Amino acid sequence: MVRTRRSHAGRPAAREREAAADRRVVAVLVGVQLTAALGFHAAMAHVVAHLRFDLGLLAGTIGLVLGVRLVVQYGLYLPVGALTDLIGPAPAGLLACVLRAAGFALLGAAEGVAGLLVSAVLLGAGGALFHPANRSLLAGVAPVTRSRAFAAYTVTGQLAAVAGPPIGLLLTAGALGGLLSPSAPAGSDEPVGSGELIGLGGGLPGAAGPEGGFGVLAGVAAVAWIAAAVLFALLHRLQVPATGTPVSGTPVSGTPVSGTPVSGTPVSGTPVSGTPVSGTPVSGTPVSGTPVSGRGAIRRAVTRRGAVRLRSRAAQAAGGVAGGVAAVLRDRAFVRFSLVTAPSTLLVTQPVTVVPLRGIGEEHTTLYLCAAALVAAAVQPLVAARRRAERRWAIPAGLLCSAAGYALLIPSTGSAGADVGGLAAAAVCGGLAVGLLEPSIFQRTVRHAPPGRSGAYFGVINFVSGMVAFAGGLAVGRLFDAGPAGATAALAALASLAALSAGWTARGPGT
């Protein structure tokens, strides 16, 4: 009876400790999201202007550099998600931030295509590690607070997407001239408003001219990602005591750090062979006189044993990654869920491309992007309340909002005099789509993933949706290049795809 009372008395204290640990994790992740997303959006909003006007690259070369980043990131999601489960999400996040910091530093310093491609690879590899690591940490939060935690994480990212481009503009030398003269430079065939403001965007043409300081901006972005890496390191230190191994004192085997080694023999006195330390060594030769024979052989044996152990660990890691991916692919219900929601990434990211390419002017484009981000942030508390993101209607509703948003963009005039009311309505629908789809897909993925496998599950679903987004983005670009009729066809196709996906997710099994 005493034991039972103790266990009952200890449960509230244990729950309070777990809740406090969850709050620390969420606070650190929100800080990571704030610093990393501000650095990313501040630099990427102006990268096209830098590549075009500072370095004089052709549009095809710019597309190659940006496309390499996406291909690397989407392609690595598959193995990196399972790798996150093996090495832990906090170390994976730390490595991701270091890779992206190096990528931004090289992006600002590179002047040739080779250096730019290396920076794109670093940025893509860092992104492939970053997102599964963050979502795995959020998945480890107690279910009662997970919805609110993801809402805070998403709101922070959306606000950073709004604030990042203006911050980048202010950090870029010559930004005032870009604000006062937003038209394209003389002799340029780049129409105003054809670049993206976020992700693939060029910001304001002329804002990062040859006298501009994109190198400074990229350096600030690298520093922001280093700060995110420090936060991940702090998170890793906070999680170490939770593994059951004290930081000091007794190791895992239960043997004190000082005193008696694992064999039970005192450190001083008699070695393992039972021979006193002074006197006759293991080989039988006195200490004074002939040196101990076989010492070099012992070193070589230890070296060989270490090499074998390293090869064994590498093989286990490779097998663990392959086994993690295979375990996800055997989950047929989740595979079906990944396939029916695969268009979601394409649908929530394409407005960043199609709105500027519609030719409605930079002011209206900025209005759309900011309004959509603010709506997506504002809807998060409502989605998190009563765990609405986990309900079956959430994903179809988000896809229907996406379909409505693309349909409302079709009648835009293709000039700066576009209907502001219709554009605002499209932005609201687009923001609702993002605000519903992201938390809902996250919660469904966590529900499918068994403990310790969330990284592999996020890696698989991100890989599938990323490949669809990459291929779909290429198709949309080709249609827009075909002229106004092609642009209308692209918007109609995106609206139809969103509506069809809503139907599939509403009645599809396993979702």
Q: Please give the class, per CATH, of domain 332-511.
A: mainly alpha
113-139 helix and 143-171 helix, angle to the nearest 10 degrees:
150
CA neighbor of 490 nearest in space, from 500, 476, 478, 501: 476
Which two three-digit tokens encode residue 182? Answer: 């937003």
Domain layout of the chain by residue ranges: 18-241, 332-511
Which two three-digit tokens encode residue 104? Answer: 């931004």
- CA 76 to chain CA mean position, Å: 12
> Among all chains, which residue has been given the structure tokens 């990944």?
338
Q: What is the pLDDT of residues 89-119, one digit of tens each?
A: 999 999 999 999 999 999 999 999 999 999 9
Q: What is the pLDDT of residues 37-80, one digit of tens each?
A: 999 999 988 888 888 888 988 877 887 888 889 889 999 999 99
- Which pTM value belongs to this model? 0.70
DSSP 167-233: HHHHHSTTHHHHHH--SPPTT----TT-SBSSSSB--STTTT-TTS-HHHHHHHHHHHHHHHHHHHH
The full 3-state SS of 371-439, as one line of letters, equals: HHHHHHHHCHHHHHHHHHHHCCCHHHHHHHHHHHHHHHHCCCCCCCCCCHHHHHHHHHHHHHHHHHHHH
CA neighbor of 359 nearest in space, from 484, 474, 482: 484
Higher per-residue pLDDT: 198 or 35: 35
Distance CA 373, CA 395 (A): 18
Q: What is the share, in percent, of the chain residues with pLDDT greater than 90?
A: 44
Which two three-digit tokens encode residue 380? Answer: 């998060």
> Among all chains, which residue has been given the structure tokens 């709105």?
355
> How does residue 135 score in pLDDT terms, banded at 50, 70 and 90?
very high
> How does residue 354 score in pLDDT terms, banded at 50, 70 and 90?
confident
> Among all chains, which residue has been given the structure tokens 């992206």?
100
Distance CA 343, CA 339 (A): 8
Q: What is the share, in percent, of the chain residues with pLDDT greater than 70?
A: 72
Higher per-residue pLDDT: 162 or 192: 162
| Fold: same for 18-241 and 332-511 | yes
- DSSP letter at 358 equals T
Judge whether 460 and 328 are in contact, CB under 8 Å: yes
Helix (H, G, I), strand (E, B) or coil at 449: coil
Q: Say which amino acid occupies 103.
A: G
Superfamily of domain 18-241: MFS general substrate transporter like domains (1.20.1250.20)
126: Cβ–Cβ under 8 A, 6 or more apart, which residues? 95, 96, 97, 98, 99, 100, 103, 225
